[in-house]
Chain A
């Protein structure tokens, strides 16, 4: 059973792949500029709008089901400042 090593290797590979594409040639520029982030600040584009409600829902899932974890800590934001 080698789920640990596969797990670690996959997370490492995925993170580096996300950032490392094109690293041999020249640094790639962020392609979504701060002034293009308007839609990402819209309420429909938030992972979570009411944290209490979502926390309660996740609590129900972890109590009523055997599987738990990886609920997620989010980012994205308005690109301000």
Chain B
């Protein structure tokens, strides 16, 4: 315990003095000492996607673009653009307000550097919609060690959001600050088996609710009251193995817990199979279950400091079944530019046993459809 505190204090002091640069060069120096295979920069690519989410009265669709290109041997740059045209008639909106439409636009930029056996990534993103602005800056490092069999990764994100409401003249009235710390290990276990363990801690500080959402106390609607801080942690273990020739099985399990007493577990099982040189099919099943936040109540019978009726903070479960099909055209031009077309269809079922649909006084449930079409290539 004493040793831990000493280590933690000296690390914080070192970190403040040396800065993040010190951490990177330390990892890079250690990585460069290995004789073995080095990390590689991500490949050049260009992707265009059309996406649709339709469920629970919310329909969001739009295009998205991503471009990534190497500059020389050591640097790769990327840029992305994403649009969500949202038509919102969700249960909250329909029972306590009126349907609306709005557009969300997001950009992101990134740069990757190859330093010895490590890839350092710096990226930033911004998302704008009429009543919410989200900004984030990320720093990640991924180092190949142990003969290239192990990849260690560390990452940090600092987010800063502005929260607003469009039914007031002065739109933005509060903000949220976010810190995310991640660490991960990916290990090659055999020529046909990989496993990966990832952990992340997310800390938020600020206005964490929705200014439009109402809670119910003793049958009456009141504005929701949420704490101004939240810290959550997630740990995910996943395995990817080639179980049959050209067939891989992926299993993922994630546990989540936070200071609002929400505990969630997510399990996903997927199978991928190549059919000839041109077709690839991926089928997945995902189950997510979580417990309610400490102060969640559909209709609170006690007056508490914090109260919310956000169904996403209630005890709910969701089950998703998805399929992804990728096609590589056989033509010479397609081969040269690495062209492939991917279509994704996923159906998700949400059940909220603790959230009552006010329209029929029964526990709320809905099905959602997700559709994506992606055209990818390199240049």
Contacts and interface: CB of A to CB of B under 8 A. Distances in A.
- Report A-B touching, CB under 8 Å: yes
A30 B146 contact: yes
B217 interface: no
B71 interface: no
A71 B326 CA distance: 22
A34 B342 contact: no
B199 to A, nearest CB: 5
A30 B312 contact: no
A66 B248 contact: no
A80 B40 contact: yes
Given A40-B191, A75-B142, A45 B240 contact: yes
B188 A40 contact: yes
B192 A68 contact: no
A67 B39 contact: no
Contacts of A66: 262, 264, 290, 293, 312-313
A73 B191 contact: no
A66 to B, nearest CB: 5
B180 interface: yes
Interface string A29-71: 1111110111110111101011111001100110011111111
Interface stretch (B92-100, B148-156, B220-228): B148-156
Contacts of B238: 47, 72
A42 B180 CA distance: 32
B335 interface: no
B256 interface: yes
A34 B148 contact: yes
A75 B266 CA distance: 22
Contacts of A51: 47, 66
8 contacts: A32-B190, A53-B49, A57-B372, A66-B312, A75-B144, A76-B151, A76-B188, A77-B148
Interface of B: 4, 36-40, 47, 49, 51, 53, 64-66, 80, 82, 140, 142, 144-153, 155, 180, 182-192, 194, 196-202, 232-236, 238, 240, 242, 246-248, 250, 254, 256-257, 262, 264, 266, 272-274, 280, 288, 290, 293, 312-313, 318, 324, 326, 342, 344, 346, 350, 368, 370, 372, 374, 376
